[in-house]
Amino acid sequence: MSELTIKQSGPAIFLGRLGRSTLRGCEQLGDATMLGFHALSLIFSKPWQGKHFVLQLYALGVGSLAIIVITGAFTGMVLALQGYYTLAKFGSESLLGAGVGMSIIRELGPVLGAFMIIGRAGSSITAEIGIMRVTEQTDALEMMAVNPKQRILLPRIVAVILAVPLLVAIFDVVGIGTGYIVGVELLGVNPGAYMAELVAKISMHDMYGGWVKSVVFGFLIGIICTYMGYRAVPTTEGVAQATTQAVVISSVCVLIIDYILTSFFL
Amino acid sequence: MQAYRRIEMTVGAFVIVGLLAITWLAVKVGQVGGLGESGYSLVANFDDAGGVRKGSDIMMAGVVIGRIDSVKLTDNDHATMLLRINNDVKITEDAFASVRTKGIIGDRYIRITQGMEEEILEAGSEIEETESAINIEDLISKYIFSGKE
């Protein structure tokens, strides 16, 4: 037995592990991209998945509305509060509207919105698809000549891509509104100055920035969460692990892509 | 089927709320132009645009009356601006346009002061009288060097 084991030095073992995990990562990335785009390419082929798309938009979009409104409301409120005390030191409280609006529209709306959607909708997508794998529902669909990629993955990916920008826009409006309530009603900033500075400082370019981000994040969340569920190890532990990984990987990806988008394109 | 109808309606309402939010942000906050841009345009030449950009305000008596459409370098030595003025504001032929700053560190804007003439400027015509941005460094250096002489 001892003759069969190959003696390896420490660095060799380390390099081997590093190489293996890198290759595994590349493989998963490629697999996820292929799976996602394959599912998306079926959008125009029959049968039309409209009903399932509406059901998913209801579960993922309407279902996340409450948490998005709550997050948006408190983000706007705390930004107004923090911004006020910082700006008051320079005597420029009138810039509060611009500060709150700019940070929410450019940065916090898309990123915090995406996090909430990952937690609320992304994890449920992964768990649901994973359990379908465990209970062999996808195999049953295939037996009935229904393409599970088209029936299960496609409506979820499209629903997330569409729901994220809509939810982020609602987040932005709620955040600016609650920022107004705290800034103007509680802290006594001039109501005209709040809105006028907001409108004057935020250009259409900032809006595009936020929207591009939210669409890209929707795409990422859709692809990653469906992939993790579809390729989950079909056991109880496997699904649990896949759900955790889906949330962690999508959150980290959102943060990294957010930085890249901000620095290069916007 | 009844349950599905209700879901459909909820989704419809959700999409409308989302789209309304996007529209409000675009029209109210982003000030998207596009559809039937209102106002008429005037041209003005400045020796120094001093940081006035597309979208900067145009003010008269402290009230915003329009926005800058474009700022370009012409003949390699001066800046030409396209001013978009609201339709209800009439500007006299001898009006005076100057580059000003809001507050100490604020944005640059164009201030227009009405002249004495009765004639008003047609769309596309030029504001002849202009004053460039006041550059504090230039003023200080001028002061220092004039003191030495």
Chain A partners within 8 Å of B10 (Cβ): 58, 62
Measured CA to CA, the distance from residue A164 to residue A117 in angstroms comes to 7
Contact A251, A118 (CB under 8 A): yes
User: pLDDT tens for residues A149-196?
Assistant: 888 999 999 999 999 999 999 999 999 999 999 998 888 888 888 888
Token pair recorded at residue A205: 């370019």
Contact A172, A104 (CB under 8 A): yes
What local confidence, expressed as pLDDT, does residue B104 receive? Answer: 61
Mean pLDDT (chain A) is 90
ipTM of the complex as predicted: 0.74
What local confidence, expressed as pLDDT, does residue B37 receive? Answer: 58
Instruction: Say whether pLDDT at A265 is over 70.
Output: no
CA distances from A175 to A74, A156, A180, A182 (A): 7, 27, 8, 11
**Cβ–Cβ below 8 Å for A204 and B57:** no
Chain A partners within 8 Å of B32 (Cβ): 204
Chain A residue with CA closest to B56: the answer is A200
Of the candidates B10, B22, B32, the beta carbon closest to that of A169 is on: B22
Of the candidates B4, B10, B22, the beta carbon closest to that of A62 is on: B10
pTM for the structure as a whole:
0.76
What local confidence, expressed as pLDDT, does residue A230 receive? Answer: 92
**Cβ–Cβ below 8 Å for B18 and A62:** no
Q: A223 falls in which pLDDT band (50, 70, 90)? A: very high
Instruction: Say whether pLDDT at B95 is over 90.
Output: no
Chain B partners within 8 Å of A55 (Cβ): 4, 7
What local confidence, expressed as pLDDT, does residue A93 receive? Answer: 80
Residues A139-173: b if buried by 16+ CB within 10 A, e if exposed: eebeeeeebbbbbbbbbbbbbbbbbbbbbbbbbbb
Q: B47 falls in which pLDDT band (50, 70, 90)? A: confident
CA distances from A158 to A66, A149, A164, A223, B46 (A): 21, 12, 10, 10, 52
Chain A partners within 8 Å of B30 (Cβ): 202-204, 206-207
Least Cα distance to A100 among A205, A215, A207, A202 occurs for A202
User: pLDDT tens for residues A94-120?
Assistant: 888 888 999 999 999 999 999 999 999
Instruction: Say whether pLDDT at B36 is over 60.
Output: no
Mean pLDDT (chain B) is 80
Instruction: Say whether pLDDT at A64 is over 70.
Output: yes
User: pLDDT tens for residues B111-134?
Assistant: 888 888 888 888 888 888 888 777
What local confidence, expressed as pLDDT, does residue B102 receive? Answer: 74
User: pLDDT tens for residues A135-161?
Assistant: 999 999 999 988 888 889 999 999 999
B24 at interface of A, judged by CB pairs closer than 8 A: yes
The nearest CA of chain B is from the CA of A148 a distance in Å of 22
Chain B partners within 8 Å of A200 (Cβ): 57, 107
CA distances from A172 to A69, A84, A196 (A): 9, 19, 17
Most confident of A129-143, B3-17, B30-44, B70-84: A129-143
Query: What is the gyration radius of the CA atoms in chain B, in angstroms?
Result: 23
